[in-house]
């Protein structure tokens, strides 16, 4: 059975989301059309508003509706301390901890030469222009090969400056039992141990 053009477009629209294949998209489309047209209309309005109104912060590249995001425009934040993360979701995770009071720089990815993603594609040229205002960089990139390469590149970028550089600790999660932790994570936890 073929779908009408509008139904087919809606199904195809849902498939742009990560993890949503044609069957899941079809289920979502049918559900909205059969049971929740009002919710579908609200979703359409919210999507349109976000696509038109959300941009990247001119300073840190996080999501923003104004030129500066709420973190960069907050005078109570330590503007000389910058935590470098890979995505806006990472900013949210760190903010929810309540432990960090500096600002961020969001890479929107990581270095991946094989995919054609170099320093300029992740905004390192913008970060370099801001370094004169920075006293400390905290590297919070992922523990993947690409995340580690990105972290190393940034360390090299600031070598020879007075900027202190640290990497967030990695290892055993709070409340975790050692018997369930994988070997690589446990090895990193042993290497990153601190004196008490």
pLDDT digit string (tens) for 12-67? 999 999 999 999 999 999 999 999 999 999 999 999 999 999 999 999 999 999 99
Identify the CATH assignment for 63-170 out of 3.40.1360.10, 3.30.830.10, 3.90.226.10, 3.40.50.150.
3.40.1360.10
128 φ, ψ (degrees, to nearest 5): -60, -35
CATH 2.40.10.10 is held by the domain 5-53 = no
pLDDT digit string (tens) for 127-139? 999 999 999 999 9
Locate CATH 1.10.8.420 in the chain: 5-53
Provide the pLDDT confidence category of residue 170 given band limits of 50, 70 and 90.
Answer: confident
Locate CATH 3.40.1360.10 in the chain: 63-170
Cβ-based neighbours of 66, under 8 Å, separated by 6 or more: 73
pLDDT digit string (tens) for 147-162? 999 999 999 999 999 9
Q: Within the chain, what is the greatest distance between any pair of CA atoms?
A: 67
Give percent of the chain above pLDDT 70.
95
CA dist 113 → 100, 143, 146, 163 (Å) = 31, 17, 9, 27
């Amino acid at each position: 059975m073929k779908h009408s053009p509008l139904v087919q477009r809606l199904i195809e629209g849902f498939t742009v989301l990560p993890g949503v294949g044609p069957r899941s998209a079809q289920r979502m489309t049918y559900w909205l059309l059969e049971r929740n047209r009002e919710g579908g209309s609200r979703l359409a309005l919210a999507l349109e508003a976000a696509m038109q109104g959300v941009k990247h912060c001119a300073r840190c590249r996080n999501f923003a509706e104004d030129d500066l995001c709420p973190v960069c425009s907050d005078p109570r934040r330590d503007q000389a301390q910058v935590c470098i993360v890979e995505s806006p979701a990472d900013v949210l995770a760190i903010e929810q901890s309540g432990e960090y009071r500096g600002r961020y720089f969001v890479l929107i990815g990581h270095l991946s030469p094989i995919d054609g993603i170099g320093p300029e594609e992740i905004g390192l040229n913008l970060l370099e222009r801001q370094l004169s205002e920075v006293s400390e960089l905290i590297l919070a990139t992922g523990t993947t090969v690409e995340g580690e390469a990105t972290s190393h590149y940034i360390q090299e970028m600031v070598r020879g400056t007075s900027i202190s550089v640290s990497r967030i600790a990695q290892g055993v999660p709070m409340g975790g039992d050692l018997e369930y932790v994988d070997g690589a994570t446990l090895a990193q936890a042993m290497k990153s141990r601190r004196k008490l």
